[in-house]
Each structure stands twice: as C-alpha cells, then as structure tokens.
Amino acid sequence: MKEYEYKVVKLELNAFSSQEKMLKRLEEQLNQYGKSGWILCSMQSNLAYLRRELTK
C-alpha cells in the first residue's frame, strides 16, 4: 500500500501584479515543488495542498 506525506504551502502572490504575472509566479512556485516530487492536490486562495509518495 502506498503511503503519502502532505504539505500545506502559503504561496507568494502579489495582488498588485497583472493577472499574467501572478499566474506565471504561481506556475514557477508549483513547478519548484513538483521538482521535489510534490503533487498539487488542491488550492484555496493562496494555499496549496500538496502530497508526495513516501519512499521506503
């Protein structure tokens, strides 16, 4: 059975930036977590709920 660890991250979003810049920054931050094996499960406002499989 697979086991997972979870992480909640407050993303840095600048409300005064254009939507395009804000989305690009969001994408960059999520890609950084993805490189470490984290998968986005859900988002609410500026909180990202991530998970990754535990390796034994």
Condensed to tens digits (0 to 9), the pLDDT of residues 23-43 reads 888 899 999 999 999 999 999
Quote the tokens at residue 55: 């390796």
Quote the tokens at residue 20: 């395009």
Quote the tokens at residue 53: 């499989």
pLDDT score, position 47: 94
- Residue 12's alpha-carbon distances to 4, 5, 22, 30, 49, in angstroms, are 25, 22, 9, 11, 14
Residue of 38, 30, 37 lying closest to 11 (CA atoms): 30
Quote the mean pLDDT of the chain: 91
pLDDT band at 17 (very low <50, low <70, confident <90, very high): confident
Model-level pTM greater than 0.85? no
Rg (CA), the chain: 13
The count of domains in the chain is: 1
Its domain, for residue 11, covers: 4-53
